[in-house]
Structure 1
Amino acid sequence: MKERMINLLSIGAGGAIGALLRYAINTFNHYAGLPLGTLLANWLGSLLLGLFTGWFIHRVPREWLKLGLTVGLCGGFTTMSTLALDTTFLFVHENVLQASGYLIASLGGGVLLAWVGYIIGFKAAKEGVEAQ
């Protein structure tokens, strides 16, 4: 029961930090034709989640730390609902081409950066383990 509570608190703390970071990015990237703050947060979050995942294959942290960084921080930082709303807004108020480009850049860039992060984290942790 104690471990479960620590895990939940870690997820909550990570989620709060992630949400605050997302808000800060959106504050400094006001709408300028495209919702760049959401795009940047989702790209960075995908990169971080890939990096953590690759790293944790070789370096297994305490469960609360793993959950706090992945489910909490990355989950609170990235946002599917804002992506969906931004795409809808572009479709309704701008044009279909702009909305489509944003959606492709968001999804394609997110997957690409998650893959890059995973490779970097995997290799960095593996090299650290082999050096020991």
Structure 2
Amino acid sequence: MTLVLVALGGAAGSVLRYLTDRRIQQWRDSPFPFGTLTVNIVGSFILGFLSGWLLHGAEPSSVRALLAVGFCGGLTTFSTFGYETVRLFLEKTRLYAVLNVVVTVAAGLASGAAGLALATVIWS
């Protein structure tokens, strides 16, 4: 059953990632990967929130499988982040490459911490 939950969550997260990325990149029309940045920040917040919920007594196995591992795993994407950073560097938009790394890491950590803090406030 766990495998099915991970697969369902991953499928939903992957489709949402693709649609979000395409929509944001069309809207922004920039070489900077705003779509990937957005899904990684949102996914970090959701995972932080879920982690806080799980730490405060939520049913860990099914929630973790469906939402944390499946959905957030499908929604966020380290491989695309890495690829887009290298692409920016090779296309001689090095400032964008550096900004992508700095903003993604800082915003992802802050977003995850914010999600964890919100869950702590709600369930403490």
TM-score by length of 1: 0.87
Q: RMSD of the alignment, in Å?
A: 1.2
User: Unaligned 5+ residue runs, structure 1?
Assistant: 1-5, 127-132
In the alignment, the residues of structure 2 paired with residue 9 and residue 28 of structure 1 have an alpha-carbon distance, to the nearest angstrom, of 29
User: Unaligned 5+ residue runs, structure 2?
Assistant: none
Q: Tell me which residue corresponds to 2:93.
A: 95
Deviation (angstroms), 1:66:
2.2
How far does the alpha carbon of each residue in 1:83-110 deviate from its partner, in whole angstroms, 9 at most, with x for none? 0001011111142222101110011110
Please say which structure displays the higher CA radius of gyration: 1
Q: Tell me which residue corresponds to 1:110.
A: 108
- The counterpart of 1:8, out of the listed 3, 6, 23, is 3
Instruction: Name the % identity.
Output: 31
Q: Tell me which residue corresponds to 1:21.
A: 16
Which letter does structure 1 place at the counterpart of 2:19?
A
Q: How does 1:62-81 map to 2 (within 5 A)?
A: 63-81=61-79
In the alignment, the residues of structure 2 paired with residue 62 and residue 109 of structure 1 have an alpha-carbon distance, to the nearest angstrom, of 26
Task: Out of 57-66 and 96-105, give the one that drifted further.
Answer: 57-66
Deviation (angstroms), 1:62:
5.1
